């Protein structure tokens, strides 16, 4: 029964069949109480060697894990220090920029004060000449408004005197009647006519000069010319023009052809430029040969220069020093501007601007 169940063809295995056969042989030999199968364990020297190798590998693995953790901690510490250094450099560059702006503003205010002082001195020097010329014009021009006001005042004064005289005549009329009764008839009539007649106008005793002396005319003309303020229109100032370069992707320093003012600029592959001047402004020179597109809101139109349309960038992407110093490239109006050599070019611009201003 047991051999049938353990046969490989009936669901058993060769090992079970071998064990049944060995047990049967032991029973047939009369050794039914002993073990049918004896297990012999042989020691292999490679097991100890493999165990030693396993222990060594575990130690190496532990050392490598400790070294990896230490390197990871050092890497995180280095990244934190690098981030802090970048933020410090960015803050320092921003402080340098603010200091430069304050210097520019101080210079501009000094110039404005100098111009105002000059204008004040010029105004004080021209004020006496203007007053003398106004008095001269009043004496020469008989139709001036001051002359008309004087005539009106004289007429009002004459009318008041005539009115007061008539009032005294009416009040003294009874006395005149009594006096007329005591005088002859001819004298009465002459006296009454003399009372109601208005006094004769005074003859102007001032001489009227018909022909003036040539020296007086020359002096009057000189005073009038000195009183006149000649405003000469200034010639329009030449607008600064950007110098074109062939290389793109790197910041370079240049000078405007008309004003010789320094600047730094970078050219894109499409032929557009981003410019930074001594006043701390960023400008975008868009190449008009490019396909027209919708412009960002931070680009403010200023003017045209040859085949460029110039826009100022008061805010937004590309308008601050921190954005340029802390990036490898910037995207402005769908154009990539690499940021190669910005810090060196900016430092060179600061030194040049300090010499110019």
pLDDT tens digits for range 26-72: 778 777 666 666 655 556 667 888 888 899 999 999 999 999 999 99
Who wins on pLDDT, 173 or 332?
332
Q: What percent of the chain has pLDDT over 90?
A: 8
**Cβ(107)–Cβ(357) below 8 Å:** yes
Who wins on pLDDT, 355 or 123?
123
Other CB atoms within 10 Å distance of the CB of residue 284: 26
pLDDT tens digits for range 73-108: 999 999 999 988 888 877 777 788 888 888 888 888
**Cβ(349)–Cβ(328) below 8 Å:** no
pLDDT tens digits for range 191-222: 656 655 555 555 555 555 556 667 777 888 88
Over the chain, what is the mean pLDDT? 76
pLDDT tens digits for range 230-244: 555 566 666 778 888
> HEC profile for 50-89?
HHHHHHHHHHHHHHHHHHHHHHHHHHHHHHHHHHHHHHHH
Closest C-alpha among 203, 170, 347, 157 to residue 264: 347
What is the SS3 assignment for 340?
strand
Q: Residue 18: pLDDT above 70?
A: yes
- State the alpha helices, DSSP H only, in the chain: 2-6, 14-28, 45-140, 145-171, 173-182, 185-196, 214-227, 321-325, 342-356
**Cβ(296)–Cβ(333) below 8 Å:** yes
pLDDT tens digits for range 121-146: 888 777 655 554 454 444 444 444 44
**Cβ(239)–Cβ(304) below 8 Å:** no
Going by pLDDT thresholds of 50, 70 and 90, the confidence category of residue 258 is confident
Other CB atoms within 10 Å distance of the CB of residue 139: 10
DSSP symbols for 213-274: -HHHHHHHHHHHHHHS---PPPPPPPPP-PPP-S--SB-EEEE-TTT--EEEEEE-TTS-EE
Mean pLDDT along residues 305-310: 86
Which element (helix H / strand E) includes 276?
Answer: strand 273-277
Closest C-alpha among 278, 329, 288, 327 to residue 308: 288
pLDDT tens digits for range 286-302: 888 877 678 888 888 98
Q: What is the DSSP letter of 289?
A: T
Q: What is the DSSP letter of 290?
A: S
Q: What percent of the chain has pLDDT over 70?
A: 68
Cα 357 from Cα 350, distance rounded (Å): 11
| pLDDT on residue 64 | 93
């Amino acid at each position: 029964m047991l051999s049938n169940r353990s046969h490989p063809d009936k669901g058993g295995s060769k090992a079970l069949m071998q064990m049944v056969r060995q047990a049967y042989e032991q029973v047939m030999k009369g050794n039914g109480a002993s073990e049918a199968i004896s297990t012999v364990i042989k020691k292999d020297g490679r097991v100890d060697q493999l165990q030693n190798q396993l222990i060594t590998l575990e130690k190496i693995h532990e050392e490598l894990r400790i070294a990896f953790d230490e390197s990871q901690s050092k890497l995180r510490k280095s990244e934190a220090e690098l981030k802090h250094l970048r933020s410090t450099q960015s803050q320092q560059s921003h402080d340098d920029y603010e200091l430069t702006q304050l210097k520019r503003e101080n210079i501009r205010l000094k110039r404005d004060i100098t111009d105002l002082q000059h204008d004040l001195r010029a105004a004080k020097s021209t004020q006496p000449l203007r007053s003398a010329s106004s008095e001269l014009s009043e004496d020469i021009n008989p139709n001036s408004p001051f002359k008309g006001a004087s005539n009106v005042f004289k007429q009002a004064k004459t009318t008041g005197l005539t009115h007061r005289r008539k009032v005294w005549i009416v009040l003294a009329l009874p006395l005149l009647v009594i006096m007329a009764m005591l005088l002859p008839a001819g004298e009465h009539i002459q006296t009454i006519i003399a009372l109601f007649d208005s006094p004769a106008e005074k003859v102007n005793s001032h001489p009227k000069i018909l022909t003036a002396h040539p020296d007086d005319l020359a002096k009057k003309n000189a005073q009038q010319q000195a009183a006149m303020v000649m405003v000469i229109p200034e010639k329009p100032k030449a607008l600064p023009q950007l110098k074109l370069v062939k290389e793109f992707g790197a910041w370079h320093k240049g000078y405007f052809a008309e004003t010789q003012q320094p600047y730094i600029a970078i050219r894109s592959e499409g032929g557009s430029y981003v410019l930074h001047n001594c006043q701390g402004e960023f400008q975008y020179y868009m190449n008009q040969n490019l396909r027209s597109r919708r412009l960002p809101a931070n680009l403010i139109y200023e003017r045209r220069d040859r085949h460029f349309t110039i826009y100022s960038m008061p805010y937004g992407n590309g308008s601050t020093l921190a954005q340029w110093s802390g990036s490898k490239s910037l995207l402005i109006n769908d154009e990539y501007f690499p940021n190669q050599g910005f810090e060196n070019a900016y430092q060179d611009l600061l030194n040049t601007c300090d010499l110019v201003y």
